Structure 1
């Protein structure tokens, strides 16, 4: 459900939400986050991709830069088609821990992109959270002040 409010609407209540800086990287909304694998934290900017139906895709340059292939348990493979028409196959791996909005989510299936073009080949963004992940949070976006607020909801424990 999407609701739009006037800028100073008194019914907007952010108590209980985690406030984060909203970064626009090439006009793409992103937040800071991290994944932890084998005790090592990998952080960066992660795009908020409400058009994706997966949990998290790590961008191919970030995968290569941090040697993430073979660091997590492979549990499957996925074929992706980007909005630019590019098609490629990716391993689905089990990420031990994701830090997002000051919360920790464990054992999340994510994909490791090998794309050479399109948004999944971006050098500027570490990865992209899709709706399978984002649906676990209620979100308030304040574009004017460049903040975004997240609060866990009833979908926290739904299956990926």
Structure 2
């Protein structure tokens, strides 16, 4: 079920967009985690490919959602989280920022209340976590699985 976005939601999406603008990755994503009206974590995607906490592995980049969830985990914040995810094009307009399968799987380890993201047309969508339908495969996983990218000799 899709919900109507409030002004506050749009403000947090703007902050997620600002985080995306910091990314050096070609598909610039930013994410903000909010609990009880306060931003508890923020970040953007990066070329980081490994972390000691196990949340980053077998990937070409660290997605913004995973970076933010890592920050939440470090602060022991695991419940009642709302995630705002934005992707900026080269002209700084919103584009599809729906979570990929890998991010969705990481999100399921937390108690995520809502996910707010932009669709292919740049329209902001607000949904509860249980209604989020993620089928998008990203993180270079297609290339890794197809053996087009020999990234650190990861097994397929």
Q: TM-score, normalised by structure 1?
A: 0.28
Greater relative contact order: 1 or 2 (C-alpha under 8 angstroms, separation 6 or more)? 1
Larger Rg: 1
Higher fraction of strand:
1
TM-score (norm. length: structure 2): 0.29
